[in-house]
Amino acid sequence: MNGVPLANSGERKAAIVRRASSTGGAALMLLRLGTRWFAVDVLAIAEVALKGAVARVPTAPNHILGIATLGGRLVTVVSLEQMIGGAGPLSRENAATLPRLLVLRHGDCEMAVVAEGIAGMAEQVAAEQADEEAPAGRPKFVREEFFWNGHRVALLDVPRLVAAAASLSGIDSPLDSVEA
């Protein structure tokens, strides 16, 4: 994926999605949180909300920053940094207004993750085989890692991410068939 141009216009984005679908790859949105980079399949993104106000939830686990009202519905806001074991640049106390919320959807379940920056879209070409085994300690919701423009990017598996967030919260998820 190194050096693949990002899409900035709606027409180029649509072309990336069509081309990725026809080649067996995926169209990815690249986002940054602190110094970490993540990628998400664009088909799993419900919306991107700017400057979402987040209300804290008393006694919520550390990975839950709170809830936000988006389009008349309540959406749980999750800290990816906390879920992968980091301290995270965003604390629950300072999460009143976050830079961007990326709302991810799997079936009827949705949740928002924080993104300090969104780099745009890129095409991921389907790999014939995995280049390396998953490193020990890598969360199951990280499908693979790759390099893009000198940055290590973690490709998120949205069904597993939703299941892991629910499991960490002690919630029986409708995604119980998905291994967290």
* Residue 144: CB atoms within 10 Å: 17
Interval 3-57: pLDDT, tens: 444 444 555 555 555 555 555 567 899 999 888 899 999 889 998 888 667 888 8
pTM of the predicted model, to two decimals? 0.74
CATH of the domain at 77: 2.40.50.180
Interval 81-128: pLDDT, tens: 888 876 554 444 555 456 788 999 988 888 999 888 888 888 775 544
Q: Is residue 1 part of a domain?
A: no
Instruction: Please give the tally of structural domains in the chain.
Output: 1
Q: Is residue 63 part of a domain?
A: yes
Q: Is residue 4 part of a domain?
A: no
Q: Is residue 2 part of a domain?
A: no
Q: Is residue 177 part of a domain?
A: no
Give the pLDDT band of residue 175 (cuts 50, 70, 90): low
Q: Is residue 180 part of a domain?
A: no
Which domain range does residue 159 map to? 10-168
Q: Is residue 175 part of a domain?
A: no
Q: Is residue 25 part of a domain?
A: yes
